[in-house]
A and B are shown apart, each in its own frame.
Chain A
Amino acid sequence: MTEPGEIPLEAPREAPREAPLEAPGTRLGRLRATAWRAWDSDILYSFLRSPVTILAAVVALTLVAASLAAPMIAPTNPFALETVDLMAAFTPPVWMEGGSWDYVLGTDDQGRDLLSAILYGMRISLFVGVASVLFAMVLGVGLGLLAGYAGGWIDGLLMRIADVQISFPAILIALLIDGVARGLLPREVHHEVAIWVIIFAIGAPGWVQYARTVRGSTMVEKNREYVMAAHIMGVHPVVIALRHVLPNAMGPVLVIATIHLAIAVITEATLSFLGVGLPPTEPSLGTLIRIGNDFLFSGEWWITLFPGVALVLLVLSVNLLGDWLRDALNPKLR
């Protein structure tokens, strides 16, 4: 224990390589320098060195692109009732007996094409996930910046609220919000706004993590000398907080947001699986899994399996990307 083994001796400081073809002052020159920095960056390097990350990125990008392009690439529109053929209900996947190329992954109990339903469902899952992450991020970053920068009783109050909030599981809060919304809103209105209620219910408990992280880095940054220099110049404190402190405190937020996206997608799926999420007319992956779950033991396993696989692939690839991003941005682990 008294061995000085843990003592970091100053490692040689690496000077950055200069960008080639320096064309100072011109827009093109700046662009070129920025492009060089991106190409030369450690992040890209660590990305290219990790096959798992590359695979995860490919999978995630494919799934996102496919769900975005769903109206163009999906064989049918599962929401258009006129295209749904009840006679085709419970068609198995194409490689099984009774399968058809019209329904590559088979159909559900109402004869909807599963592949199309998955593409559209993923679209909804991703939309809910991204929107609730954005909501939590804006709320959390804003409150974290306020707490860290203002300090004093504002900081105390916000952090105590955060402490209380984090002692409840997020899913519980989401259920509570959803339940309250159902109770308060008339049925038709609730149907209309269900997706926004879900986004709020999933996003609201998420702010704490952003707020704590941003508060921490804000408290470090606000005592840095460049912030002091801005104070001495008489720059307005709000301007200092937004232009100086915030951009430098945002580093870890991207990592949290990526990992949070995976959690948000799972939370939405859980709520929908429990039947308190999105209505069956707008089926997300979770809704599809729930519908399929009813038929799991009657032999129509594909109705629940394929949406499940899609969900796992999506969440796993996003999560892996988040893990890699965290490691890549953390100089201590490099």
Chain B
Amino acid sequence: MAEPLLSVRDLRVTFPTRRGVLTAVDGVSFDIMPGEILGVVGESGAGKSQTGAAIIGLLEPPGRIASGTIHLEGERIDRLSPDKLRRIRGRRIGAVFQDPLTSLNPLYTIGRQLTETMRTHLDLSEAQARDRAVALLGEVGIPAPADRLDAYPHQFSGGMRQRVVIALALCANPRLIIADEPTTALDVSIQAQITALLKRLCREHDTAVLLITHDMGVIAETADRVAVLYGGRLAEVGPVDAVVNRPLHPYTEGLMACIPTTHDRPPRLAQIEGSMPSLRAMPAGCAFHPRCPHAFNRCVAERPPLFDHPPSAAACWLWAPEGARAAPRERTAS
């Protein structure tokens, strides 16, 4: 097996507050292979954005990485100085965020933003950088890129702006892009354009993507593998098809069942009762046990580790190897 591009081990992100330390990400581990699209899905408060922010070193204070390791191409990057991290951002990890306006400086033309970013990270002359910027803008689907180079961000529509942001993320040829809800602020028809673009570019440039979103539909169509987060912890990770159609973790199962589709109209949607626990009231044992229809004693008492069950893995006692608990029970994966 090839060396993973990004390797996150036992990541813990904490926010010290006056009422105690909040653990936003709690022991999350995953790998991203070169060129792979890994979806990270979860509801608000699941810790998905914090995971992404921790990797690129953009945690908002007082948030910090309390423990765990992050390796990029074998090099440990979670203990780097802000200066070294800045050089990695843009050069080796690109970023695309939900609101394209916050990623673009409204005072500079997009051409200047692209060329400056390129020249910060790559050894290019001004003219070379400009040529490359025009090529990139064309590649992300901006019509008449040479003319648009001197336009300001506000002169673009929301969808076009997100394309510019993608061009910006790609401009130094990074090996990994972290995309945090890249389509959430866009209209349905534009969303599809942006995900298609992201997919095509990553294939062509052999760039891996960490795609953070709450939208399982986007994950299903875009990602190769998916990690499901719940309450700051990894609930399940595996190939998209397996996680969607044969979920292991009861939370994943509930999540997939409660998403309405355009194919049929059931009299009721399946629903997970209750809501995600708040970070300061995380239940003992498995974080999902108060809402879980299959919970038993061990779930209340002990936090489950990630159990391998190829092709996926789930942090659930139901999937503990035989003999790990007294009464193994039959499970039906829908």
Q: Which A residues form the contact surface with B (CB < 8 A)? A: 1-15, 17, 45
Contact = CB atoms under 8 A, between A and B. Distances in A.
Contacts of B18: 45
Given A11-B60, A13-B45, A2 B117 contact: yes
Contacts of A6: 102
B281 interface: yes
A2 B113 CA distance: 6
B97 A17 contact: no
Contacts of B175: none
16 contacts: A1-B105, A2-B117, A3-B86, A3-B89, A3-B90, A4-B58, A5-B86, A9-B60, A9-B180, A11-B60, A11-B63, A12-B15, A12-B22, A12-B24, A12-B50, A13-B44
A55 B272 CA distance: 52
Interface in B14-54: 15, 17-19, 22, 24, 44-45, 47, 49-50, 52-53
B271 interface: no
Nearest to A46: B18
Contacts of B156: none
Given A9-B49, A12-B279, A2 B63 contact: no
A3 B45 CA distance: 25
A8 B63 CA distance: 12
A122 B117 CA distance: 62
Interface of B: 15, 17-19, 22, 24, 44-45, 47, 49-50, 52-53, 58-60, 63, 86, 89-90, 95, 97, 102-105, 108, 113-114, 116-117, 168, 180, 278-281
B103 A7 contact: yes
A1 B50 contact: no
A6 B102 CA distance: 8
Contacts of A45: 18
Contacts of B89: 3-4
B210 to A, nearest CB: 13
A174 B7 CA distance: 69
Contacts of A15: 278-281
Contacts of B97: 4, 7
A20 to B, nearest CB: 14
Nearest to B165: A4
